[in-house]
């Protein structure tokens, strides 16, 4: 729904959303296994690329902010799951994608890896998925993630 919103409203940031299988496939079998996932989309024409991250028993979010040239990691458990390593993997993915689709190298060394420490934190052991959805919504709208908290997650 967020991707449809992004495409329907020209005032919204242009976003591409990978599905929840992308990160697992990328980490277990490498770029060759996901290279065709973007045959119908130019990632470099997007403002943001949203990557849900299933980390075993936890969800977090990676965002490749193409417009502002940065990689962002959102985690509702204070990035206790190797955020820098994950963002490094996403950087490598984007380099591979550029080489494959654009047939040239891209220098991403100036793109910072940002662990978003202002991300709201969950107060329990089971709301990480809801937080990840909210992080993705905020990123796709271009608004700060500080607009919600655990209090907004009724159960």
pLDDT tens profile 89-146: 999 999 999 999 999 999 999 999 999 888 888 888 888 888 899 999 999 988 888 7
| Residue 2, pLDDT above cutoff 70 | no
pTM for the predicted model, two decimal places: 0.90
| Residue 79, pLDDT above cutoff 60 | no
On average, the pLDDT of the chain sits at 89
By CB atoms closer than 10 A (0-12, 13-18, 19+), residue 122 is buried
Residues 6+ apart with CB under 8 A from 48: 13, 14, 15, 16, 63, 64, 65, 66, 67, 139, 140
pLDDT band at 149 (very low <50, low <70, confident <90, very high): confident
Give catalytic residue positions. Answer: 58, 75, 128
How high is the pLDDT of residue 65? Answer: 97
| Residue 80, pLDDT above cutoff 70 | no
Q: How crowded is residue 144: how many other Cβ atoms within 10 Å of its Cβ? A: 12
Which tokens go with 154? 């009724």
How high is the pLDDT of residue 155? Answer: 64
Higher pLDDT, residue 70 or 143: 70
How high is the pLDDT of residue 8? Answer: 66
Average pLDDT over residues 60-70: 97
Alpha-carbon 152 to chain mean position: 22
- Is 61:73 a contact under the CB 8 Å cutoff? yes
| Residue 1, pLDDT above cutoff 60 | no
Return the ∠ at Cα 71 (arms to 53 and 82), rounded to 5°: 50
């Amino acid at each position: 729904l967020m991707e449809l919103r992004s495409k329907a409203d020209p005032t919204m940031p242009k976003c591409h959303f990978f599905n929840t299988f992308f990160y697992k496939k990328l980490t277990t079998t490498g770029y060759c296994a996901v290279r065709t996932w973007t045959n119908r989309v130019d990632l470099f024409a997007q403002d943001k690329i949203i990557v849900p991250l299933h980390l075993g028993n936890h969800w977090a979010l990676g965002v490749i902010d193409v417009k502002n040239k940065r990689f962002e990691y959102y985690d509702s458990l204070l990035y206790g799951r190797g955020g820098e390593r994950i963002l490094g993997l996403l950087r490598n993915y984007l380099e591979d994608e550029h080489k494959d689709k654009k047939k040239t190298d891209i220098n991403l060394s100036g793109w910072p890896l940002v662990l978003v420490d202002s991300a709201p934190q969950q107060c329990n052991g089971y709301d990480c998925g809801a937080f990840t959805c909210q992080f993705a919504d905020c990123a796709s709208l271009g608004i700060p993630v500080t607009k919600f908290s655990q209090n907004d997650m009724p159960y």
